[in-house]
Amino acid sequence: MTGPKGLIAAGIAAAAHLAFSTPVYAAESETLAAVQERGVLNCPGHNGSYLGLAEVDDKGEWKGFDIDLCRAVATAIFGTYEDHVNIVPLSWAQRWPALQSGEVDTIIKASGWTLGRDAELGFQFSNIYMLAPTKILVPKSLGAESVADLDGGAVCVPAGTSTERSVAEYLERVGIEMEFVTSEKTEESEAAFLSGRCDAFAQWDVQLAVLRLKSGKPDDYMILPDSIAAEPVGALVREGDDDWLDIINFTLTTLLAAEEAGVTSENVDEMKANPPAPGIGKMLGATPGYGERIGLSDDWGYNVIKVMGNYSEMFERNLGKESPYGLDRGVNALWQDGGVLWPILID
Amino acid sequence: MSDATLQADRARPPVSPFVERLKERLFPTPLSGLLSALGIAAALWIAFVLIRWAFLDATFTGTPEDCQQTTGACWAVISARWRLMFFGLYPYELHWRSGIAGLILIAVIVASCVPVFWSATRLALLWVVSFALFWIIMHGGVFGLETVTEEKWGGLTLSIFIFCGTALVGMPLAIVLALLRRSRYPLVAKVAAVLIDTVRSLPLVTILFTVSILLPILMPDMPLSKISRVILGMALFFAAYQAEIIRSGIQSLPVGQEEAAKALGLGYWHRMTRVVLPQAFRRALPPTISQFAISFKEVALVIIIGVFDFLASGNAAYGSGEWAFTYVEVYVFLAFVYFLFVFSLSRYGAYLERRMRVGK
């Protein structure tokens, strides 16, 4: 029998437990709660195809890097993306109001991080998932190996765009001169380049890969390795829902950390059984702590890699060597490989 | 032509009048003859190049690689991706439903053009039944059909649906607006006039942006789906223009028509539905057909608010790494389908005019 003293002691112990045990930050994200209740994550698609990032296959299914990233976030929340992702076709102009009105839960749509978008639209950007480099496409017959070889040539650019400005600045910096052939619209510039009115065409590298395919003779063109400008590309969420931003940032971290540690969709089961590092074990749910702190299940990292693969697998199948675009990772490699991408540390 | 040459012509063996006339028109003098010959040669050459591109050197089925072997059109993209263009993002294994639903709408459009159905009750019955049928097949959720929400609808079926919805909501609205604008009460007439002129002074794109983007922000609990809002917006736009067309028809009638009806003791509704409107519609037929043709093509504007219509599906059809180079073929195909629809509409309009003897 415990006397009053015993009861008091038990009471103190219980109070102490409540007061000093590790606090659990249950997710308080409104967006996450709404997504979980709905059972579906709403992401933007495109009004048509945006090649490499959001395109439609023969069966009317979405595919592409942006789409895969959205699926990764859905997998993080639900364990699978099947039946849990709804791709809402959106035009470029529509994406901001669509996020404001709640039509989509996040914008993952090739959107560059700018002061205006960050400060004035009421959105927050996630860590960047891509640095979009502006590069130059040339016909192989020109024999150029870098931008420096183009001295005295002509370059096609849409008039008054940031691309035109970056090309001009870059040319000045490396000290060569080129004639600018400007057109009102990007399509006109592309046509001018393909019909041979200029020697070079400057654009974001994904668009250059697309243009190379559009020409119908992809082997006749090459993208020069020089990056003449770059735009940081991230996902956007509504301002003030930091816990939701965390989920997107950590999904990205999972993809990058898995690549860093060599965890792929193939070997993720072995890696979970014998984690190479404690952080990886935690990320894959071998030891607890990865999910609870951001309001997800503890094996969410495992699910993401198992279903979607790591960053490298996602890149290669959508934009890289296994895709028609055949892009190099370039600046979008991990920091160890000379790129700009890094995962957040998992402690 | 002088009498002398006429005499000479009669003496010659008879030549078919067509050839004769052609010769006269095309080769009256050496210079004109030369220009004609050059023009004909150029036209033949263009026709030959086009035919060679579109048929002789074209690839009709196969892979993108097959296409790149030849210099002609790559129609293989149509055979590989036509389902995407016709049905958009509708679930692949359920495409038959979208196909049947689209055919129902086309059948109903054709049926409404047949004089047998020309009574208000028959038309109303036809359209209500077919829209219900369309909804059941397309949306499902009943009779064991899997539910497919409106966000998944797309392609040509969706374009036709938006067009039908616009015309169906817009036409009655147009009649009401036209009658209100001619109301005896100045206030009613003024309000209708201001409404019509306001809508007509707005670009359709603005209206589409308002219904698709602004409304959900202003009214978060909006019960209407995006497609329904788009249809309502387009119907309002259609009605504003069509109301003026109907009004012009009404005003072209001799005043005596309505006065005679009044003298016979007919009430307002009878005067309008039996005397004024039927004649007004007959007179306003040519611009009404134009308005339908314009509206059908304007449906393509919904692409800018992310509705996956026929045009957006076409963009998606050449929008893959493998087929990126086939944009010309895809747009030619889209244009061809649009042409089929709008041209049939115009021919039907011409038939109606002959039937109603408009202009005689």
What are the domain boundaries of chain B?
A: 3-52, 148-356
Q: Is A88 in Cβ contact with B151 (below 8 Å)?
A: yes
**Which two structure tokens, joined as six digits, stand for A316?**
């290669």
Q: Which of A92-96, A171-175, B330-334, B350-354 has the lowest mean pLDDT?
A: B350-354
CA distance B94 to B116: 34
pLDDT(A238) > 80: yes
Q: Using CB atoms, pick whichever of A55, A102, A216 lies closest to residue B325.
A: A216
Asked whether residue A317 is assigned to any structural domain, the reply reads yes
pLDDT given at position B204: 93
Question: Of A193, A228, A263, which marks where a domain is finished?
Answer: A228
Final residue before a domain boundary, out of A228, A247, A263: A228
In angstroms, how far is the first alpha carbon of chain A from the final one?
Answer: 45
Query: What count of residues does chain A have?
Result: 347
Q: Does A124 share its domain with A251?
A: yes
Residue A125 φ then ψ, to 5° = -95, 145
Shortest CA gap B90–chain A (Å): 7
A123 and A153 housed in the same domain? no
For A63, the closest chain B residue by CA position comes to B320
CA gap B137, B95 in Å, rounded: 11
Indicate the burial class of B299 (C-beta count within 10 angstroms; 0-12, 13-18, 19 or more): buried
Which of B19 and A136 is assigned the larger pLDDT?
Answer: A136
Regarding whether A144 and A292 lie in a shared domain, the answer is: no
d(C-alpha B271, C-alpha B263), whole Å: 11
Say whether residue A101 is in contact with chain B using an 8 A CB cutoff. yes
Assess A58–B contact: CB distance below 8 Å, yes or no: yes
Q: How far apart are CA A342 and CA A315, in angstroms?
A: 15
CA-wise closest residue to B258 among B270, B274, B273, B276: B276
- Is A55 among the domain residues? yes
Taking CB atoms and an 8 Å limit, are A47 and B304 in contact across chains?
yes
Question: What does the pLDDT read at residue A28?
Answer: 73
Q: Is A293 on the interface with B (CB under 8 A)?
A: no
Same-domain check for residues A125 and A155:
no
Could you tell me the CA-to-CA distances from B121 to A317, B128, B179, B194, B239 in Å, in that order?
57, 10, 21, 32, 21
Q: Tell me the C-alpha distance between A29 and A294, whole Å.
A: 9
Q: Measured between alpha carbons, how far is A200 from A178 in angstroms, rounded to an integer? A: 10
Q: Does A57 contact chain B (CB < 8 Å)?
A: yes
Residue A17: inside a domain: no
CB-based contact, B316 to chain A, within 8 Å? yes
Interface contact flag, B92 A61, Cβ < 8 Å:
yes
pLDDT reported for residue A123: 92
Q: Are B146 and B140 in contact (CB under 8 A)?
A: yes
Answer yes or no: do A81 and A175 share one domain: no
Q: What is the pLDDT of residue A21?
A: 45
Q: Which of A49, A53, A86 to mutate to test the interface with B (most CBs of B within 10 A)?
A: A49
Any B CB within 8 A of A23 CB: no
Same domain, A138 and A117: no
Residue numbers in A near B317 (CB within 8 A): 56
Spell out which residues of chain B touch residue A48, defining contact as CB-CB under 8 Å.
303, 311-316, 319
What number is the average pLDDT over the span A315-338?
92
Domain harbouring A204, CATH code: 3.40.190.10
Q: Contacts of residue B324 in chain A, CB cutoff 8 Å?
A: 51, 210, 213-214, 324
Looking at the structure, tell me whether residues A224 and A291 fall in a common domain.
no
For A20, phi and psi rounded to 5 degrees? -110, -10
State the average pLDDT over residues A55-66: 91
The DSSP bridge pattern shows strands A221-223 and A179-183 to be unpaired
pLDDT given at position A46: 92
Residue at A213 is within a domain: yes
Q: What is residue A158's predicted lDDT score, i.e. its pLDDT?
A: 85
In 10 A of CB B44, how many CB atoms?
A: 10
Q: Average the pLDDT over each of A63-72, A224-233, B15-24 and give the range with the smallest value.
A: B15-24
Q: What is the 3-state secondary structure (H, E, C) of A232-287?
A: EEEEEEECCCHHHHHHHHHHHHHHHHHHHHCCCCCCHHHHHHCCCCHHHHHHCCCC
Partners of A217 on chain B (C-beta within 8 Å) are 68
A-interface mutation test, from B90, B308, B331, most A Cβ less than 10 A away: B308
Residue B250 pLDDT = 92
Separation CA B349–CA B287 (nearest Å): 10
pLDDT given at position B346: 87
- A148: closest CA of chain B, how far (Å): 30
* For chain A, percent of residues with pLDDT exceeding 70: 92
In words, the CATH class of domain B148-356 is mainly alpha
For residues A266 and A161, the answer to whether their CB atoms sit within 8 Å is: no
pTM of whole model > 0.90? no
Examine residue A118 and state whether it is found in any structural domain, yes or no: yes
Q: Is A259 exposed, middle or buried (0-12, 13-18, 19+ CB in 10 A)?
A: buried
Average pLDDT, chain A: 88
Q: Does A11 touch chain B (CB under 8 A)?
A: no
**Rounded Cα gap, residues B68 and B58, in angstroms:** 10
Cα B323 from chain centroid (whole Å): 29
What is the per-residue pLDDT for A343? Answer: 94
Section A167-193 average pLDDT: 89
| A333 and A237 housed in the same domain | yes
Q: What is the mean pLDDT of residues A180-202?
A: 89
Distance CA B28, CA B23 (A): 7
- List Cβ neighbours of B235 (8 Å cut-off, separation of 6 or more): B165, B166, B167, B168, B169, B170, B173
Same domain, A235 and A127: yes
Instruction: Examine the domain organization and report whether A255 and A218 are in the same domain.
Output: no
Tally of structural domains, chain A: 2
Final residue before a domain boundary, out of A228, A256, A272: A228
CB pairs under 8 A between A and B: 108
Q: Which run of H or E residues covers position A60?
A: none
Contact A181, A192 (CB under 8 A): yes
Selected residue with higher pLDDT from A295 and B12: A295
Does A325 contact chain B (CB < 8 Å)? Answer: yes
**Nearest one of A91, A51, A44, A59 to B87, comparing CA atoms:** A59
A76 and A218 together in one domain? no
Report whether pLDDT(A59) > 90.
no
A239 with A203, same domain? no
Q: What is the pLDDT at residue B8? A: 52
How many angstroms separate the CA of residue A104 from the nearest CA in chain B?
Answer: 12
Q: Containing domain of residue A170, as a range?
A: 133-228
- Tens-level pLDDT at each residue, chain B (360 residues): 455 555 555 556 666 788 888 888 888 888 888 998 999 999 999 999 999 988 888 888 888 888 878 888 888 888 888 888 999 888 888 889 999 999 999 998 888 888 777 777 888 888 888 988 998 998 888 887 888 888 888 899 999 999 999 999 999 999 999 999 988 899 999 999 999 999 999 999 999 999 988 888 888 777 788 899 999 999 999 999 999 999 999 999 998 888 899 899 888 888 888 888 888 888 888 898 889 999 999 999 999 888 899 999 998 988 888 888 888 899 999 999 999 999 998 898 888 888 877 554
pLDDT at B13: 60
Token pair listed for A327: 């892009």
Q: Which residue has the tokens 């210099």?
A: B71
Question: Among all chains, which residue has been given the structure tokens 């920091």?
Answer: A335
